[in-house]
Amino acid sequence: MYLKKIELHGFKSFADKSVIEFQPGITGIVGPNGCGKSNISDAVRWVLGEQSVKSLRGSNMSDVIFNGSEDRKAQSVAEVTLVFDNEDRFMNFDYNEVEITRRLYRQNNEAEYLINREPCRLKDIIDLIMDTGLGRDSLSIISQGNISSFADSKPEERRGMFEEAAGVAKYKKRKLESIRKLERTKDNLDRVEDICLELEKQIAPLRRQKEKAEVYLELKDQLQSIEVSVLVKEIENLSASLKELNDSLDSLDKEKVTIEGQILLNEQQNETLKKKMYDLDQEVNGLQGQLLTAMNNVNELETQKVEIDTNRKHILENTDKEDLQARIAQMRAILQDAVNEYNDRVNRYKETKEEKLDLEAAQEKNRSEMMALRQNIENLNLQLHNNRNRREQLVDIVENKSGYSYGVRSIMKAKDSLSGIIGVLGDLLESDAQYETALTTALAGAVQFIVTKTDQDAREAIHFLKENKSGRATFLPVEVMKPRSLRDDHLMVCQNFDGYLGVMSDFVRYPQEIESVVLNQLGNIILVDTLKHASALSRATFARYKVVTMDGEVVNIGGSLTGGTNKSQSSNFASKRELEMIKETIVSQEKEINHKKAKLNELDNLAREISHHLLQKQMSFAKLEVVVTNKKSELQVAKSEYESLTHRSVELSEIESGAQDNQLINELNEAKKLRDRLTESIQAKRELRMSFVNENDKLEETLRASRAHLREIQSEMTQKQVNKAKQETELSNYLLRLNDEYKMTYEFAKEEYTQEINMGEAKENVRLLRHKIDSLGNVNLQAIEDYQEVSTRYETLNSQRLDLINAQDSILKAIDEMDEIMISRFGETFEKINKEFNIVFRNLFGGGKAELRYSDPDNILETGIDIDVQPPGKAVQNITLFSGGEKALIAISCLFAILRVRPVPMCILDEVEAALDVANVERFAKYLREFSTQTQFIVVTHREGTMEECDLLYGATMQQKGVTKLVSVKLKDAIDLAGA
């Protein structure tokens, strides 16, 4: 390996791009002082990783950039490239040529490193050249200052050169890295042990709390299993009892109405009977007066009997037949009126009866409609109750983020106290229902990622989670998320493919501010119709994209497939849509219930109106029954009187014909008949009155019994209504308890808890379980999750602690092994160099002796290097007392001794022989020539003896002030030309 060329542009005095080509052997760089020839060695040192500004002869790293001159502007960047021939693979790099480049920009003082024009790190360059002899502490670059300070250096400062020669630099670097890693491991172990100790303090009380919570939950489950069954049974019994009560109340209400109607009719009949008895009393009093008169009349007629014959003719002559006929005609008209009135009352009686029956039918129809409407309202209330419960569940899922991880919930709860939190990605996206399955599959876990404005906002949120031990979350900062999309050629393939629908980001709606996040997560996910087309499209795009079907099947990047069914497939998007739908349903149901309640109120008012009209019709019907009876009696009386007048007409005809001769006798007979008739009428009316009295007594007894029965019914109804209200309250409490305590509807509980139970034993078990639960006191249910989290964390940290201990032991073992290697290699190399040092020293000094010694033989890994030399003819003395030339020659002797033991591929010597005299310069130059077959030398010099041994010379000059130019001369060609 050797250095082929150096390219400089903008580095120190090399304002223009300069290329210096080298060849194996010795290359000399000459020129007057200040012409910039030493800048070449600085450039090599700079590219190979020198970070010390002082070593580069500057005060600031930007000093290496060309600062301008009177005629030239300053450069903005400095760039140096070293090109090495690596055909022998001396560098562990699989290229024939190795280019190492370093750039530095003035504006931001940023540096760039490249290997073969590919960006890399400074560490990569250092690793590449380590143990190749080109390291910072190696012999590859030696200046006059290094030579002069070698003798004056402290023993510890000389050690680096020998370590590089021994090839232990990489082991030392690894050891330092291992030591730093060991320190980090120890720090981590200390932190982990501290945390483990703290967690151990937490685990014991948390375990007790967890066990208590588990007992509580077990008792709660037992209580729920039993108590829900009890509640279901109680609700069933109460519902059945309430149905019986309602049926009984309806029956009692009907019976009450009937009895009230009967009482009203009986009271009316009672009043009618009393009036009839009063009328009969009046009639009997009148008839008694008539009877007295009739008896007196009979007596008078008997005294006048003697005058019968005399008066017979008078009677016959004075009897007016026409008047009798008029009375008969009048009575006939009265009879006809009685018939008409009777028929009218009968017709009204029939009409009233029909109207009463119609009202009773209307009342029954109204009652049926009200029962159906009440049942409908009850069903709607149950549906509304279920929907409200479901709404609460969905609100908990969508708004309270119950389905999200603990970390996401913690961030969203603290959103107002944190800056830049936009929201959860799943909540920020909207999609049509048909694409929700595909979208949920495409996002996968990203549906819970939190979108922030900046990465600083995300870091603050993560710090918040750490400080509060509130779980983990993934953040998507808008400002740093880069949109992703399909390549143009792949997009063209997709667009011409069967089943291709688009990229997933085309099927979502979102705020414009998060567009970069959406495109990053969904911009390169392909949506197709079926799995068959998905597989084909994935193959056509070389399986570089995730392909999702409408049913949620996936062909992943690389070609693997995911599919099947998800037992509890419910996405956040579906929950949001269901929440909106159920809110609309609840509003609609509330409106419908209010409408049906208004209708029920109308039917209730109608029921009262029908009941009122029915009561009136029942009263009218009862009255008409009495009226029809009276009219029938009046008709019979009129008919009787009409028949009587008809009979008298016949009797008069008999008198006129001679059948009745004696008018007095006739009157007597009539008087007697009247007397008898009046006596009979009085007797009949008295008997009729007695029957009315008996009937009235029975009616009053019936009224008393009916009123007592009505009071019993009213009392029973009141008691049943009280029981109904009590049972309704109990039923409501049971339903409310079922809902509030166990979050169940009656229908769900009835379906799930169907076990047969003994109510007495079950209630006793409920009491005992509640007593046990109460005896537990305060229960921390979060302790179960906290214990699991702390326990898992403790186990994880404890495992990490063991891993760290093992890692610590492994690092210590590796350090010991590296120490052994370094001691072995360093010791062997040191002995070889020490042996060669004495030989080279004797050759360069023409005799004498030289020796290298450990300053601390007991600590080979850290010991410094002392130099004991004795030039010819001089006594051993402190090396610092030698002259400058002698120090330089000693340092050069050590250099050549190291090169004998560990040749390096390249060595830059910057005026290292400046302090030597001519004879020593010649010796120095001959040694260079001796080593030039295995080491490439680049010598910055102005000594003739050194120049003579060079194969190639570069002359450095400043034709333009402040700007270095180089001119090359091959000495062999120059000698050939001179000889010609």
DSSP element (H, E) containing 199: helix 169-303
Q: Tokens representing 940?
A: 């910055």
What is the β-pairing status of strands 141-143 and 18-21? unpaired
Longest dimension (CA), the chain: 226
Tokens of 32: 């007057």
497 CB neighbour count, 10 Å cutoff: 15
Beta partners for 84?
3, 98
Question: Tokens representing 721?
Answer: 């209504």
Task: Map residue 86 onto helix, strand or coil.
Answer: coil
For β-strands 554-555 and 561-562, DSSP reports them as antiparallel
Specify the length of the chain in residues.
980
Instruction: Check: CB of residue 821 under 8 Å from CB of residue 168.
Output: yes
Long-range pairs of 673-680 with CB within 8 A, sequence gap ≥ 24: 674/290, 674/294, 674/297, 675/291, 675/294, 675/295, 675/297, 675/298, 678/287, 678/290, 678/291, 678/294, 679/291
37 is in an annotated binding site: yes
Tokens of 199: 């967690």
Q: How far is CA 958 from CA 32, 35, 530, 926, 963, in A?
A: 9, 6, 76, 31, 6
What are 526's strand-pairing partners? 503, 547
Pairwise CA distance, residues 143 & 3, whole Å: 18
- Alpha-carbon separation of residue 763 from 234, 242, 620, 739, 766 (angstroms): 11, 22, 58, 19, 5
Q: Which residues contact 197 (CB under 8 A, 6 or more apart)?
A: none
**Burial status of residue 214 (CB atoms within 10 A of its CB: 0-12, 13-18, 19 or more):** middle
Instruction: Report the alpha-carbon distance of residue 473 to residue 593 in Å, rounded.
Output: 45
Helix (H/G/I), strand (E/B), else coil: 715: helix
Half-sphere exposure of 71 (CA within 13 A, CB side): 7
35 assigned ligand-binding residue: yes
Three-state SS string across 126-139, please? HHHHCCCCCCCCCC
Annotated binding-site residue? 872: no
Q: Residue 33 annotated as binding? A: yes
Known binding residue 31? Answer is no
Listed residue (938, 894, 929, 942) closest to 146, CA to CA: 894
Q: Return the exposure string of 533-547: e unless at least 16 CB atoms fall within 10 Å of the residue's CB, then b.
A: bbbbbbeebebebbb
Helix (H) or strand (E) holding 254: helix 169-303
261 phi/psi in degrees, rounded to 5:
-65, -45
Please state the residue numbers annotated as binding site for ATP.
32-39
Please state the residue numbers annotated as binding site.
32-39
